[in-house]
Amino acid sequence: MSGYLSGVLAVLCINLIFAYGIFVPMAAGQINLGGAGFQAIGAYTTAWLSSVAGLQLWLTVPAAMLAAALIGCLISFLVLRTRGVYMVLATFAFGEVVAGFLLRSDFFGGAIGMVVPVHVALPLLVCCAAAVLLLTFYLMATRLGLAMRSINDDEAAAIVMGINVRAVQVTAFTVGGAFAGLSGALYAHSFNFVEAQYFNSFLSIYVLLFVLIGGAQTAWGPLVGTVFFTLLPEVLRISGSWRFVGFGVAIVLMMMLRPQGVITRAMVQRLSPRRWAPQCAGAGTWHGG
């Protein structure tokens, strides 16, 4: 496999994990526009533990996930006190605070950044992305996932049915922070360098588009959105600088044609084998005269 293809696949795996870190809170009715902040926490945690403390990969990555999850849990209690656009602004402010702190902190290298000595291979990235994918599908099929979906559809009705909305949303925000932290840790070990300028607001908006355009109603949406918007710029690269125009046009068209996302819950239900099984059974039944 060429180095170029390996690099594209590595970015795809990292973006996929990051997208599910945004999707899980969104499934519980929380739009997180500070995803880059959680990814930066994971990246700088593993960078410091690897370069300064000299820990191995199998310790730095879980520590990065734990740090991002812990901060996500703490931040969620503040963020959940807001609603609507104020929640979006609160998460956006969190991401900017994290980036500003890292940029001005000599402890984490400041504007120079940090070198990460340990490199992660592509097979491990693929395994981590597959594990996050399967875990998210499993999570959405559990009672917790059903509670998250009900809160997203109608929070008032979920409260009437006895669902602890605050506990479910805090859990979703914590899990999302852990996934985003994992993506940051793998990014740091994949590129062997981190700098605060990378984890900016554009990155948060960019990954949020993966989820919104792919479809936030089911766990299939982030997968489709991430694959499409990670590979599309590479395909358009042959057009030179016009690839940015083509990329923008593609986003606008998809938002116009599929405002609820490419993959919707109704589409998944129509294509579900469980839907067709009774019809196939009925079609195969012979009624003798």
Bridge partner residues of 156 (DSSP) = none
User: Does residue 275 sit within a domain?
Assistant: no
Which range in 24-33, 158-167, 178-187 is most confidently predicted, on average pLDDT? 178-187
Confidence check: pLDDT of 130 > 90 = yes
142: left (phi over 0), alpha (psi -120 to 50) or beta: beta
Which pLDDT belongs to residue 243? 72
User: Does residue 57 sit within a domain?
Assistant: yes
DSSP output for the chain: --HHHHHHHHHHHHHHHHHHHHHHHHHTT---S-HHHHHHHHHHHHHHHHHTS---HHHHHHHHHHHHHHHHHHHHHHHTTS-THHHHHHHHHHHHHHHHHHHT-GGGTGGG-EE------HHHHHHHHHHHHHHHHHHHHSHHHHHHHHHHH-HHHHHHTT--HHHHHHHHHHHHHHHHHHHHHHHHHHHSEE-GGGSSHHHHHHHHHHHHHH-SSSTHHHHHHHHHHHHHHHHGGGGGGGHHHHHHHHHHHHHHH-TT-SS-HHHHHHH-HHHHHHHHHHHT-----
Confidence check: pLDDT of 238 > 90 = no
Which pLDDT belongs to residue 283? 45
Confidence check: pLDDT of 203 > 80 = yes
143-148 average pLDDT score? 94
Q: What is the pLDDT of the chain when averaged over all its residues?
A: 89
User: Does residue 53 sit within a domain?
Assistant: yes
Which pLDDT belongs to residue 3? 82
The region of weakest confidence among 84-98, 116-130, 218-232, 250-264 is 250-264
270 vs 129: which has the higher pLDDT: 129
197-207 average pLDDT score? 92
285 vs 73: which has the higher pLDDT: 73
User: Does residue 123 sit within a domain?
Assistant: yes
Query: Which band of pLDDT confidence, cut at 50, 70 and 90, is reported for residue 80?
Result: confident
User: Does residue 287 sit within a domain?
Assistant: no
Query: Which band of pLDDT confidence, cut at 50, 70 and 90, is reported for residue 277?
Result: very low
Confidence check: pLDDT of 7 > 70 = yes
Give the position of tokens 């996302």.
261
Residues 6+ apart with CB under 8 A from 94: 34, 37, 75, 79
Confidence check: pLDDT of 109 > 80 = yes
Which pLDDT belongs to residue 65? 97
Q: Which domain holds residue 118?
A: 3-200
User: Does residue 210 sit within a domain?
Assistant: no
Query: Which band of pLDDT confidence, cut at 50, 70 and 90, is reported for residue 274?
Result: low
Which pLDDT belongs to residue 73? 95
pTM here?
Answer: 0.91
Which pLDDT belongs to residue 55? 92
User: Does residue 268 sit within a domain?
Assistant: no
> Number of folded domains in the chain?
1
Bridge partner residues of 115 (DSSP) = 193
